[in-house]
A and B are shown apart, each in its own frame.
Chain A
Amino acid sequence: MNRSFSWKKVLFLVLLLLFALWFPRLVDAYFLHLAVTFFLAMILASSWDILARTGQVSVGQAGLFGIGAYAAALLFKWVHLSPVLGMLAGGGVSVVVAALLGYLTLRLRGIYFSITTIAFAEALSVIWLMTPAVTGGAMGLSTPPLFGGDRQQAYYLILGILIFCVGVVWMIEATRLNFAFTAIRENEEVANVMGINPTRYKVLAFMISAFFTGFAGGFYSHYNTYIIPYEVFGLGISIACLVMPIFGGLYTIAGPLIGTMIVKVIEEYLRVTVSYGHQIAYGLILILVVLFMPDGVMGIWRNKILPLFKRL
């Protein structure tokens, strides 16, 4: 890992940031809304990738997303907690749940964790449907529009969280955590011998991932003004969380972000053309990436496209 400091990179990032800050003035409400959903998805993708760095595959991020969404909505309903604090609380509750779930299942072989997460999200959906007095049941919950319906403020809030999330990923890459995560992913026994407690780091990664996923859930519930268990705990969200970073390229900063952009564009297109089953693209992408492009878009960029420029 050679983290060469280059002015070109800094300049690019500054321009990107300025563009992101200027963006709301350039576009109409539809594109602003689209940007918000893209940023939300990017947060989900990046936070899934944080956990994946330890070699663990969560197939139940929707569980954490839904908990965050409901924590924010319920806290608003019960005590009129301000939305942004509610989102933070959503992230916090998700972290606690992830710590418990992780402690139980991350000690074991990876496959137990994947199986448990998938069942976890489904179980939450059952619990929510069965306790309508507390959770609103199948009818869901609604909240008033975020910031009185001001999309620009919502845009800046989610942009801020995205930058925070990417910043955390960058910190992980720049510190010893990266070595610990990679060692665990490559070989858990060896990592253990080297003095890294695999369970502790895996749970830590899961908790970081859960915070952003829960926060995103809280944001979604306030932004969308309406949540139902089928959707926020649904398999669709769990699958989106993992397909986007895998397609972009795992264990990189840019991979999950680029993957999200491409996958979301495909999804938006399919959503308009087929009424049911537009997630077929997710399945297909997953199959094709595993079979033909093991490092995702980033891998193709690094191995196929960059060498072309170098030769010039």
Chain B
Amino acid sequence: MEWADFLQSFANGLLIAGLYAAVTLGLTLVLGVMGIVNFAHGEMVMLGAYNTFWLFTLLGIDPLLSIALSGLLLFFIGLLIYRFTIRPILNDPPINQLLLTLGISIFLQNLAMILWKTDSRSVITSYSGMSLSLGAVNVGMTRLLTFLIAVGLTLFLLFFLYKARPGKAMRAVSENNTASWLIGINVQKTYLLAFGVACALAGASGALVSTIMYTYPMVGFKLSLKAFCILVLGGLGNIPGALFGSLILGLTESFVGTYVPQGSGWAEGISFILIMVILIIKPTGLVGTRRE
């Protein structure tokens, strides 16, 4: 029985880690390529979740299809945000980029409250109640699908970064933007695309979020905090680190939820404790070296 509990928490942690990874990847991409921590990243996830919820509620569009639709919608929103707010201040001191993205985040949170109230919404599909049993472990269908799609998104991003030309350009720019410019890479365009892709990933993860969590105006902010924790765990702006950090956070939350009294309440605070622990023992993150 105890062994079964352990396996079940492990499975739950693993599944949620997939979603965390999908949420964090876009944040990592923008940080790695442009050196900006996008505080509004969580709000992109929130918009993707609301988009999925409304498409499902009003038009009956399946959340699985909305993954692509939310991704596409947020891609264009991302391009607009980049063009009109971030591009003008790219060469400003980092404090301005932080404050700008924080401003966008607060603006969108409150806009969502004004437009859609603070109610918690959920998407319940025909397959929401189904689950798979693997021995002693029960896995909800939507959670499993969410995990698989999140892994798919991650693989897609890795493939894009390592095989496709624009993706390679992003990696080059993240290494050294002046040298990239010298060899003929359009740095501005690369930034634009990176920001768009990051927002698209956030939108797609938002669609996933809407199926397994409540959708409400602050959901993006809560996920942002977890994503920040993952960034610190993995070392700022590095993708393998982000994946590893997601796994650690997902599993820790799940085990705390199972083994600590009133654990599900405490689990919400885990991300902060992990941040502090990492900053004390190894501020450069658990894997890799520090980026300057």
Contact = CB atoms under 8 A, between A and B. Distances in A.
Bound together: yes
B50 interface: no
Contacts, number: 124
Interface residue range, chain B:
35 or more
A16 interface: no
Nearest to A276: B113
B60 interface: no
Contact of A105 (B98, B269, B279): B279
A59 B272 contact: no
B114 A276 contact: yes
A283 B109 contact: yes
Contacts of B265: 126, 129-130
B289 to A, nearest CB: 14
Interface string B258-286: 00001001101101110110011001000
A127 B266 CA distance: 8
A251 to B, nearest CB: 12
Interface residues of A, number: 42
Interface in B73-105: 85, 88-89, 92, 94-96, 98-100, 102-105
Interface string A99-129: 0000011011011101110111011001101
Interface string A271-287: 00010111110111111
B18 to A, nearest CB: 22
B179 interface: no
Nearest to B103: A286
Interface in A180-221: none
B232 interface: yes
Interface in A109-157: 110-112, 114-116, 118-120, 122-123, 126-127, 129-130
B228 interface: yes
B114 A290 contact: no
A309 to B, nearest CB: 30
A291 B108 contact: no
A66 interface: no
Contact of B107 (A123, A280, A294): A280
A274 B114 contact: yes
Contacts of B120: none
A48 to B, nearest CB: 12
Interface in B113-151: 113-114, 117-118
Contacts of B228: 115, 118-119
A118 B102 CA distance: 11
B275 A116 contact: yes
B272 A119 contact: yes
Contact of B279 (A104, A246, A279, A286): A104
B17 interface: no
B229 interface: yes
Interface of A: 55, 57, 59, 104-105, 107-108, 110-112, 114-116, 118-120, 122-123, 126-127, 129-130, 235, 239, 242, 246, 274, 276-280, 282-287, 289-291, 294
Given A116-B279, A126-B265, 20 more contacts: A110-B95, A112-B283, A119-B275, A122-B269, A123-B271, A123-B272, A126-B272, A130-B266, A239-B102, A246-B99, A276-B117, A277-B114, A277-B217, A282-B110, A283-B106, A286-B99, A286-B103, A287-B107, A290-B100, A291-B88
9 contacts: A59-B102, A110-B94, A111-B94, A116-B276, A119-B229, A235-B221, A277-B217, A290-B99, A294-B96
Interface of B: 37, 85, 88-89, 92, 94-96, 98-100, 102-114, 117-118, 217, 221, 225, 228-229, 231-232, 236, 262, 265-266, 268-269, 271-273, 275-276, 279-280, 283
